[in-house]
Amino acid sequence: MIERDDLDVLLSTEEINTRTKELAALITEEFKADNDLHVICVLKGSFLFFADLVREIELDLTVDFLGLSSYGDSTESSGVVRLTQDLSKPIKGRNVLIVEDIIDTGLTMKYLVENLSTRGPKCVKVCTLLHKPDNRTVEVQMDYIGFEIPNEFVIGYGLDYAEKFRNLPFIGVVRKRG
């Protein structure tokens, strides 16, 4: 069992906020000519990052939510991606931005980009807060990356351990013993 006191801060609230503003400025720049953007929150892990990011994007955007699950309560990828909740509206003709918490093996995002691309969007772009390059097993599209992080299990700011710790305002790692 992991407890809050077992965590070290990997990325502080301030570091996350600063980087989120930088990403939002880049996204605003890319889509301002169209002034159309449909931002998709991948539940549950990206809910805090998503909420902070969209607030900083200076466009008349729309939002939608979908649920994906690939992990269960384990810290290892099962490799099986499941759509647990679909979008509420079609995305045909829209500029779509997927907002994800973390790309690890890449299997989840590969599945999602392929799935959404079949629905006739104008474009699909990917923004992930975290990327673990050491663990990636498949090629996957990543247009905006917040931070590259080491191959360790991270918790907080939306990311869970057995559904807990999503409300921590920072991203933590389990402290190594000794």
Residues contacting ligand XMP: total by CB under 6 A: 19
Interface residues for Mg ion in 8-37 (CB under 5 A)? none
CA gap 167, 13 in Å, rounded: 12
CA distance 125 to 28: 13
Does residue 172 touch ligand XMP according to CB under 6 A? no
Q: Closest by alpha carbon to 87, among 40, 51, 52, 123?
A: 40
101 belongs to the binding site for ligand XMP (CB under 6 A):
yes
Stretch of 4-12, 86-94, 103-111, 114-122 lying at the interface with ligand XMP (CB under 6 A): 103-111
Is 62 a binding residue for ligand XMP by CB under 6 A? The answer is no
Q: What is d(CA 25, CA 122) in angstroms, rounded to the nearest whole number?
A: 21
Site for ligand XMP in 142-161 (CB under 6 A): 153-155, 159-160
Residue 106 interface partner, choices ligand XMP, Mg ion, none, CB cut-off 5-8 Å depending on type: ligand XMP
Contact with ligand XMP (CB under 6 A): which of 13, 28, 70, 117?
70
Residue 141, interface with ligand XMP (CB under 6 A)?
A: no
Q: Measure the CA–CA gap between 170 and 148, rounded to whole angstroms.
A: 16
Shortest gap between Cβ of 19 and ligand XMP (angstroms)?
17
DSSP string across 35-103: T--EEEEEETTTHHHHHHHHHH--S--EEEEEEEES-TTSSS--S--EEEE--SS--TT-EEEEEEEEE
Of 17, 77, 7, which Cα lies nearest the Cα of 48? Answer: 17
Known catalytic membership, residue 104: yes
Q: Which of 34, 104, 143, 160 is catalytic?
A: 104
Q: Which is nearer to ligand XMP, 47 or 153 (CB)?
A: 153
Asked if 13 and 176 count as a contact pair (C-beta separation under 8 A), the reply is no
The residues annotated with a catalytic role in the active site are 104
Which positions touch ligand XMP (CB under 6 A)?
45, 70-71, 77, 100-109, 153-155, 159-160
